[in-house]
Amino acid sequence: MRIKALRGFSVLELVAIAVVSALGVATKPIVVPLVHIITGPLFIPGGAIAGGFYMLWIVLGIGIVKKPGTGTLIGIIQGLLVIVTGAMGTHGIMSIVSYTLPGLAADLVFILAGSKRFNILHFMAGCMAANVTGTFISNAMFFRLPAETLILLLSGSALSGALGGVLAWNMLSAMDRLNIDL
């Protein structure tokens, strides 16, 4: 059985998407507790600040594969991985939503860019969009913070996303320098 949405991807690209998805899920349980050391005493939800450092895998995957829908596919796979493995979080089936929408947001940024010649600003904006979307969705589903607090939290998640985008850009640049390409 073939899924029509996957026909546009080669097997190598699907493997790269699966690897990047797994790295994103594997990174989260390492990064979040480290960030909670700083954000916990300040009563700031750590996931929003840590998000840029595990959302970077979504934009890195988009930069590697360079095809529309890559971020969304990464998000879907991450959501499924979290549900199947119980790796991080207690969102249950809602993990599909909370992981897929950030991938979709990042995809939209890269699709609106129009070309496959992405630069660091695309990566920053894509990772910012993913992290802000993830933070907003988590707030809507679970936290329901007051508007003023949410605005501050979304600002922090945008900054974290921008930093994650810079890291993803640097990782992709390093891969290019080493001639690692699909």
Question: SS3 of 180, please?
Answer: coil
Over range 143-163, report the average pLDDT.
92
How far, in Å, CA of 28 to CA of 47, rounded? 9
Closest residue by Cα to residue 58 from 113, 143, 126: 126
Name which of 2-6, 59-63, 119-123, 125-129 the model is least confident about.
2-6
> What pLDDT score does 28 carry?
86
Is residue 82 a contact partner of residue 89, using CB atoms and an 8 Å limit? Answer: yes
- String of DSSP letters for 134-150: HHHHHIIIII---HHHH
Orientation angle between helical segments 46-65 and 120-138, nearest 10 degrees: 140
In the chain the domains, ranked by start, together with CATH numbers, are: 4-177 (1.10.1760)
Q: What is the pTM assigned to this prediction?
A: 0.91
Q: Is the pLDDT of residue 45 over 80?
A: no
Cβ pair 52, 97 in contact under 8 A: no
